[in-house]
Every structure is written in C-alpha cells, then in structure tokens.
Structure 1
Amino acid sequence: MSSTSGSTPVIDRTLTSRSPRQPYGREVTDKALKSSDRLVDTAFLRDPYPAYHMLRERGPIHWSEEFFGGAWLLSNHEDVEAMLRDPRYSARRTGGWVMRGSDDDRQALCPFQRLFSRAMLFVDAPDHTRLRQILNAGFRPAALRAFAGTIEQMVAGLMAKQSGTEAFDFMESIARPLPAMVIARLLGMDGDHQPDFLAWSEDLAAFIGAPDPDASLKRRAQVSLLKMAAAFEAMLARRKAQDAGESQPEQRDLIGHLLYAEAEGRIKGGAELLAQCAMLLFAGHETTRNLLGNGLHALLSHPEQWQRLRQEPELLPNALRELLRYESPVQYTGRRVATDMLLHGRQLRRGDLVIGLIGAANRDPVRFPNPDRLDVTRRDGSHLSFGHGPHVCIGAALTLMEAEIVFRALLRQWPTLSLVDAEPDWNGNPLYRGLTTLRVRQGSEAA
C-alpha cells in the first residue's frame, strides 16, 4: 500500500495574504502559506508526503514562520539539488538556530554554540574542504571493504539472538544497535560509554529535528553534547599516550586520523577536534538506523517488492537507492543565503534561512514518474537523501554497505518475514524520519 493512500493534505484551503518576504511589496494572491498555517502536525508526522505534494502544487517556494522563526521552503528536486551545491547558500547556520531567544538563553547556550558550530556539517570552504580531506581517509573504499566482514559478524550475532523467536522488534534488536556498534568500532571507541553516547545522541536528534526548538530542548542538547565532548576529550588523551609514534595510515581508525591531523597542524585541537568526533558518532548511526527501519517497513508493506528481491537478490543495490528515495531518513536540510538573490520571483535576502525539503524532492513527479510508488527496479532520477554537492554525506558508502549486509542476511535467513502491526510507530521527528518500533514475525502471516 502506498504511504499516501487514505491521507489528505495537512493544508487543504486556498490562502491569500501578504508575505513578509515578498519582493517590492507585491501582494500574494496565489496559494501561498500564511504565517499562521502549520505544516508540521500529527498528520504530517505520520505521513508528510501529501503535504509535500500540496506545497509543490501551490508554487516552487514558500515562506513559513514555522521553521526557526522564518524560512523559505523549497520542494522541487531541481531547486533542492541546486541549493545543496550552490555556494550562495551557506552551511553556517547554527547561530540563528542555537542562539535565538532571550539574552539569558543566549548567554547560557554559548558553550553549545562554540562546539556545535565547528562541526564539519556547519562550515563552508575552505574549512569544510580541509576537514573533509582529513576524514575522507577513514572512509576510503579499501578500508570499508576490509571492514565488511566485521559488519557481517555483527549482523549474524544480532540475528542469532532472535533465533527461535517468532516475533521481535527489529528496531530494538538490529536497526538501533548495529549502526552504533559499527561507528564505535570505526572511531576506535571502547564499549564503556556506548549506552551513554546513544542517550546523548537522542537528545541531539530531538534538538536538531525540531522545526523551532524551545529553550528546554536546547539546554538538554547542550548538556548531552558537552558530556559527549568531555568523554571524547578523555578518550583522546588516552589515545595520544597509547598511539605515540604510530604513523601508518592503514592502521588508523577515525580518531587516529584526527589525532594525526592534529599533530600535523591540519586540524585545531579543542573545540574543532571534539566537534568532529561528536558529529561522526551522531551522524554515523542516526541515518543508518532509520534507513534500516524505514526500508524494511517499506518492503514488507509492499510484499510484491520483497518477493522480487527474494527472486532477484542482485537488485538489492538498486533497491537501496529506491528505499532511500521513497522514505528518506533525512527529510530536510537548511542553508543561509550568503548574498541577496531572486528565486522564482521572490527576494531572498542575505541571512535568510532556506529549507530544502529532501523528502519532497525525492517524490517530485518531474524527476520521478509515479513517485509515490515503491519500485525496486526504478532507475530514473537520483535521490537526495545523502545530500548533494560539497556537503554530500561522507559516510554514504558505509551506510549503504551496512544496509546491504543487513538486507541480504534478512532475505537469506528470514525470507518469509512479515509485519506484526498494521500501523507503524513513527518517531515524531520531522527531520529524522524513522520508526520507534517495528515488530516483525518470522513467518508469512501477520497477526
């Protein structure tokens, strides 16, 4: 069943208003959004795609005050793709995000902003180029291929724990622990802090995923990020003592590459180094977890597609691209306008926030015929779930490798897997779309 069937758009009325961002004071008499209209509601969190289609039908760009106090929304594939590669859109956007609020709030959140803003996700060239070159060494194809056997062992171990169990929660049993285990191993972390890191990451995800986070979300995220940074700081100190003199690139994990770059002066110690460690840990499991859960739910909700993969497992790499398009783990991303520009007749001013709705772009009928249909053989168009341009996801190849290993194992070991619950339990995060639970049965019939 298509994820849009039986749903209605969250905004279904014709709107007329004067937009606060219209060029030259022009009146808006088309189907623009009003500042009072809410896009993100309960229906949207359950199924955002009718709302995305509605936005696209009403125009290529809309101003919404629901996102971070005001932002332009882009929903067409062409526009979102252009935003992601165009240097006129800056990734430096954390100031208005973290520091919005009262003077007391801004003062209290300065430690958060100092660390958060230094992550590679939120800097532009040349700093972004420098940091990416350092981290690329840990994601080389040869290094990932050598790691595949370890991931296969991890998957086999997690699946073995469900042996003889008729029904189980796939998110709790496999989708949540596996990516955390993988990124922890790649970082060279010990296992002592892994439960803490996961809890801290949940607080960061809640903050980053809120369209307009309140002070309590910000403060909780700050506490967790600072705890994460302190744990990494202690770990880095131990590693510096243990790894003194180690210089062979093939022997380094991700933290080893960062420490070597620090010793060479290519990365600054303190906040810049700690920010990259925290970013890698957080981003390394959030997207992968949701790809695994969303992907399995989509396939089991479309049993003919699951059956097709059983019959033709060589389609799996292509199927993963389709699953990413169909139910993107990351639904949107933001940029700040670096210079005044006109876009579709609208005046975008320097400093304006622009939200590229990745989930909408991935369902754009101009790029993807019949976009609400899941088709593991689809080969038209390219999804934007890993981003595009300079900030394309550095761990995309790792995520795809993990997912392919998991789905191959599921198809081989549990070919008659089926859903237990008719309605999925979505996490309610509009940015990181994923499932809280996904109960499945090792059999052909659902309860």
Structure 2
Amino acid sequence: MTPIAPFVDAAFLANPYPAYQALREAGPIHWSTEFFGGAWLLTRHADVEQVLRDPRLSAQRTGGWVTDREQEKGDLAGFQQLFARAMLFLDAPDHTRIRRVLNAGFKPEAIQALLPHIEQVVTELLDAVNDQPSFDFMQAVARPLPVRVIAKMMGIDDAANADFVTWSDDLAVFIGAPLATHAQARRAQASLLAMGRYFETLVAQRRQSPGDDLVSRLLQAEDAGDIHSHAELLAQCAMLLFAGHETTRNLLGNGLYALLSNPDQWQRLQQEPALLPGAVRELLRFDSPVQYTGRRVAADMELHGQQLRRGDLVVPLIGAANRDPARHAEPDRLDVAGRDGGSVSFGSGPHVCIGAMLTRVEAEVTFRLLLQRFPGLRLADVPVQWVANPAYRGLEVLPVSAGEGPVVY
C-alpha cells in the first residue's frame, strides 16, 4: 500500500493535484483504506477510461455505501430503497432503459431551445450585481443559475429553489465523503425523502396536466412500461435535480477561479471569444467538478498485477487522469486555446453524463456574458473557500472585483 495524504486534509482539498501526481508517479494502482475500509485507486487516464467502460465493473454500489454498518441497515432502509433506483447507480439493462427515456430531453435541439432561457437567467443574475464593486460569484451566479435551469427543464416552480439547493448540498456531502458518517447519511436521507415528497406532489399535478418537461416524460414512460415503478420514477426526478445543479455550479466556480488566476487566459478569451467552447472543455479538464467516482468489481479480474476480487471497490481518480502527462502535454498549464486530448470529467462509456452538453452551454453563456459585462473582473484580495468535499470539488465562496483599485469585500 502506498501512503497518501488524507483526502479530507485541508491542503489536499485546496489543491489535490500534487498528491495525484505523486500517486501517478508511484504507480498506476494503489490500495487505500480511506474509502469504505479499502478501495483500489486508479490514477492514469488510460486506466480510468478503461474501467469506466469495463462491464466487469458495476455502478451498483449503494448497498455498502448506505448500509455499510450493521446497525444502520434498518435506520437507512428507506434511503437505500430510493437511492439505489437512480440511473446513476444502475447497470444495463436497467440503466439503458431509463437513459433511453431521458435522452430526448438532453438532445442538442432541446438544449438549443433552452438557450434563450439560460441567457435570460444569467443576464438577470449579472444585472443584480452590475453596480457592486465586488461580489461573491458563487452566491450571485454559480449557485442559483443551474438550479433555475434544471427546474425549468423539469417544469418546477422557482419558489422551491432554496429547498433544492439545501437538499442537493446534503446529498453531495454524503456522496462525496470517502466514508460518510451516520449523521451525514441521516441528513442525506432526510433530504432525499423530502425531494421524494416534493415530487410526489408535482407528479400528481402532471398526471392531471402533462407538460413538455422531464417529469411529464417520465410519467409517459411509466404509463408505457419503460419506467417500472413509482419509486423508480421518483428516484430519477431526485437524481436529475441533484446532478443538474452540483456539477454545473462547480464548473462555473472552478472555471472562473482558474481563468482569473491566469489573467493572460482571461484576456485571450476577451480577444478571441470564439475560443469559448474549447475553453470550457479545457476548464473541465484543468479542475474537474467531479474528482472521482466509484465502481464495484462484478467478476474477479487482474489489473497491473493486482488481483481485484468480486465486491472490491475501485475508485477512478478523474482529477488525476485529467492531469496525466501521458495524455496531455504540460497538464498543469491552463490553455484556453484547447487541447487535442479529451478529459474524463463527464465520465466515459455507458454512464457518460447525460447532461454534459447542458453543463457546457450554461458555462459558455455565463463566461461569454461575464467577459462582455465585466472585462476587468479579477479575484478579490481575500482567500477563496473550498468546499470540504474531495469528490465534488468546488468553491464555497469566490469573491471577485468588477473594477480597478483596492477591493473592499
């Protein structure tokens, strides 16, 4: 076993990439006791991409996650029953069946139709801080934007958004902990069940008055037999709400922080705004919102001379893979002009993120309007605050200044 810095260490949370580099250089696979008592960590791009596509590795991993300790099995049974039905934690054929239902809502033409709404929301959020010399970008833009967009797609009233953010945060803390505490699991359960109750009401409304939204699409699929139960329907609603908010929020925050920390790259985008689509892909690679994921070994296998047994947990370190010099030249350098090699920030294989295009479009619109409205934007002279979550890397607070001179925040 190769010793590594704790994944919850403050220095690691602020900058995990030196630790990833040390792991990568020490070898391609490592056993760590930090994840549920033991897991295989993978550090290299080729290996991470391979295991995300390998059918011998299962995404069905919530059983040990939620009820790892015997005394918690009854206490968290309701959580497990709903959590495990989410598409994110299913293998084929169930994953394929549910993904097929949702695909139409995330096709390019559907995202293109949503573009005016995204631009309108970003404009409103920037209008609210237009006259402020400094503001917290996370609170002003990165947190409210994605939840308003996914709410629109699901036909949800904006009035519930404050609850959505709290529920999503509780789930992120639980999912992102290498070994969640019972208290974290209980909070996540309470939030997931609250989501379920909210969607119970919304689903009943949609049964009476269907619309052109994702919840109505799931209801139609349930009637057609493509969604197998009411609980399965509710689980997809909760997953969409959580996933649609968490990743985009952190891409916006991490991306802006990276750009303002590299002012030459910010200036280049001002001069060449056509680079924005490639720049967003580079920002995803440079500081991925999702730093790792998990798989369970479904059949004994060997990898890099190590015997992986059925039931073992495998943790592909996405953040490490994205900085692999075997895949990217000068991987620690931000280059908004783009790179030839893609990242694994949205996963790979059957479980590649269904909302990847939506997330990229939200980021492109946000950065485009920021560049136009605040060309002199810079980091405020106060520390940023990183979320204490090694899986979902993001900023709690990102103070920025819209003008010149000393910043008072």
Q: Which 4+ runs in 1 deviate beyond 3 A? A: 37-40, 444-447
Partner amino acid for 1:64? S
CA deviations 1:348-394 (Å, max 9, x no partner) are: 00110000000000000110111111111132311111001100000
Deviation of 1:85 after TM superposition, in Å, equals: 0.7
The answer to whether 1:357 aligns with 2:325 is: no
Equivalent residue, structure 1, for 2:222? 262
Equivalent residue, structure 2, for 1:396? 356
Provide the C-alpha distance between the structure 1 equivalents of 2:205 and 2:66, rounded to a whole number of angstroms: 32
What's the C-alpha RMSD, in Å, of the aligned pairs? 1.2
The answer to whether 1:329 aligns with 2:329 is: no
SS in structure 1 at match of 2:393: coil
Deviation of 1:298 after TM superposition, in Å, equals: 0.3
Structure with greater contact order relative to length (CA < 8 Å, sep ≥ 6): 2
TM-score, with normalisation over the residues of structure 1? 0.89
CA deviations 1:201-220 (Å, max 9, x no partner) are: 11101101100001111111
Equivalent residue, structure 2, for 1:5? none
Equivalent residue, structure 1, for 2:3? 33
Structure 2 spans left out of the alignment, 5+ residues: none
Equivalent residue, structure 1, for 2:98? 131
| Counterpart selection for 1:374 from 329, 334, 358 | 334
Q: Is the 8 A contact 2:215 2:237 kept in 1?
A: yes
CA deviations 1:123-155 (Å, max 9, x no partner) are: 000000000000001111111111101111111
Deviation of 1:242 after TM superposition, in Å, equals: 1.7
Provide the C-alpha distance between the structure 2 equivalents of 1:96 and 1:446, rounded to a whole number of angstroms: 51
Deviation of 1:43 after TM superposition, in Å, equals: 1.0
Provide the C-alpha distance between the structure 2 equivalents of 1:210 and 1:446, rounded to a whole number of angstroms: 38
SS in structure 1 at match of 2:74: helix
| Counterpart selection for 1:77 from 45, 51, 60 | 45
Deviates more, 1:261-270 or 1:381-390: 261-270
Q: Is the 8 A contact 1:204 1:225 kept in 2?
A: yes
Deviation of 1:164 after TM superposition, in Å, equals: 1.1
Equivalent residue, structure 2, for 1:341? 301
Q: Is the 8 A contact 2:86 2:235 kept in 1?
A: yes
Q: Is the 8 A contact 2:13 2:390 kept in 1?
A: yes
Equivalent residue, structure 2, for 1:94? 62
Q: Is the 8 A contact 2:176 2:391 kept in 1?
A: yes
Provide the C-alpha distance between the structure 2 equivalents of 1:147 and 1:446, rounded to a whole number of angstroms: 39
Deviation of 1:225 after TM superposition, in Å, equals: 0.5
Tell which structure's C-alpha radius of gyration is larger.
1
Deviation of 1:199 after TM superposition, in Å, equals: 0.8
Q: Is the 8 A contact 2:382 2:399 kept in 1?
A: no
Equivalent residue, structure 2, for 1:275? 235
Partner amino acid for 1:63? W
Deviates more, 1:286-295 or 1:184-193: 184-193
Counting matched residue pairs gives 407
Equivalent residue, structure 1, for 2:202? 235
The answer to whether 1:304 aligns with 2:264 is: yes
Deviation of 1:239 after TM superposition, in Å, equals: 1.1
Equivalent residue, structure 2, for 1:42? 10
Structure 1 spans left out of the alignment, 5+ residues: 1-18, 20-31, 244-250
Deviation of 1:191 after TM superposition, in Å, equals: 2.4
TM-score, with normalisation over the residues of structure 2? 0.97
Deviation of 1:169 after TM superposition, in Å, equals: 0.6
